[in-house]
Amino acid sequence: MPRYGFGGLTPAMDLGLIALICAAALLGPALTLFSRGAVPVVVGQLLAGVILGRTGTRILDPSKSDLALLYDIGFAMLMFLVGMHVPLHDQRLRSALRRGALAAASSVPLALGAGLLCHTLGGGPTLVYGVVIVSSSAAIALPVIDESGLSGPPVLVAMAWITIADILATVAIPLALAPARAARSALGALIVAVLVIFVFLVVHRLAPVPLVQRVRHEGKKRGWAIDLRLSVVVLVSLAYVAQKVGASLLIAGFGTGLMVGAIGGPKRLSKEVLGLGQGFFVPLFFVLLGAKLDLRALGSSHGAIVLAILLAGAAIAVHVLASVVIRAPRAIGLLASAQVGVPAAVIALGLPSHAINQGQASAIFCGALASIAACSTGAVLLRRAATPARPAAVAAPAHPDPT
């Protein structure tokens, strides 16, 4: 029987459930407001999913086909936004690229060693842990930098480091999750990358054409959101190709975001993508991701608890040690340790493919939360260090001089 929402037929999707997810996602902004920015929005959204999903009430079942489709779109949109956050046009980063690249490179062997330790004591895939530990999150750290008003050469180094680590870790995820299928995954990723470059060249060539400029002008004037529509078409089309060639949605979303960021789209496109993504698809994805987790597996497994502690400590320690290598303030390492996109991608891709189990996914989730807290701490320390100390007041003499 057809599943349409007309004429009394069974609706194709439970709209009440979608409304519940959207409402639950508001826990993210609420926690951020009540904590005065100490708790990022993503944490509240994940916790909402934990409450409604396998760990809590079990109201949400992300495996349902309709929710699974929204979950995939939300994941692709998240990677799209992460790619757009990469500051490719920031001229200030060029002077800091060398030290940022050195920090990223020095953290790789440290992360692999820490990943081996995590595997030895907590079980699970060494390479995946290494990728998670070495990663950073431009989507978390760069807004924290902006909101904190941080500046100066060390902060520029951190921005370059975060950007390089974010890109490399994101590209490495599919290969780390399925080493046996590395050749096929690499070929699929290459196909998607070539298509991204092709679309970029076509858009770059057509942008100055008078007809194209006229259509965009009319779209802006009439509120058609042409740039957003085309971006979504490219995103979904590349995601479809990625599924067909054995690549990950991660590559399609991240590549599209990088392409839009490289083109340097108008500010209204950034606002429109932010509204569509952060207003609906991304919060929905994080709630469903939280619903997939079974944190009871963490509580019932000693190895998972040990793994969570190791992942959290290793991510922070590796970034702090890398900051020592490049002779930067330790707070820069804390700032660069923020993780969200890569752990989310590992959980989203690793659970269905059985590359990781529920206990390991929960440990990765907890490690990511600790890294976000470390990032906020680093920003506070840098802000305090940049604030000039007030001169101490001169105390008045206890007894006035009689002369």
Evaluate if residue 321 carries a pLDDT over 90: yes
**Per-residue pLDDT at 6:** 44
**Per-residue pLDDT at 8:** 47
In whole angstroms, give the CA distance from residue 19 to residue 25. 10
**C-alpha separations of 107 from 15, 57, 112, 237, 326 in Å:** 46, 40, 9, 35, 11
In whole angstroms, give the CA distance from residue 307 to residue 169. 20
* pLDDT tens-digit series, residues 300-312: 777 788 888 888 8
pLDDT top residue among 229 and 340: 229
Of 328, 320, 319, 336, residue with least CA distance to 379: 336
Evaluate if residue 12 carries a pLDDT over 70: no
In whole angstroms, give the CA distance from residue 280 to residue 73. 11
> What value does the mean pLDDT take over residues 130-139?
84
* pLDDT tens-digit series, residues 194-208: 998 898 888 888 878
> What value does the mean pLDDT take over residues 321-348?
86
* pLDDT tens-digit series, residues 365-403: 888 888 888 888 888 888 887 765 444 444 444 444 444
In whole angstroms, give the CA distance from residue 38 to residue 370. 12
> What value does the mean pLDDT take over residues 300-328?
87
Residues 6+ apart with CB under 8 A from 261: 83, 84, 85, 86, 88, 89
In whole angstroms, give the CA distance from residue 306 to residue 289. 22
Task: Using pLDDT thresholds of 50, 70 and 90, give the confidence band for residue 319.
Answer: very high
Evaluate if residue 262 carries a pLDDT over 60: yes
In whole angstroms, give the CA distance from residue 100 to residue 97. 5
What integer best gives the mean pLDDT of the chain? Answer: 80
Evaluate if residue 247 carries a pLDDT over 80: no
Of 241, 220, 275, 244, residue with least CA distance to 77: 275
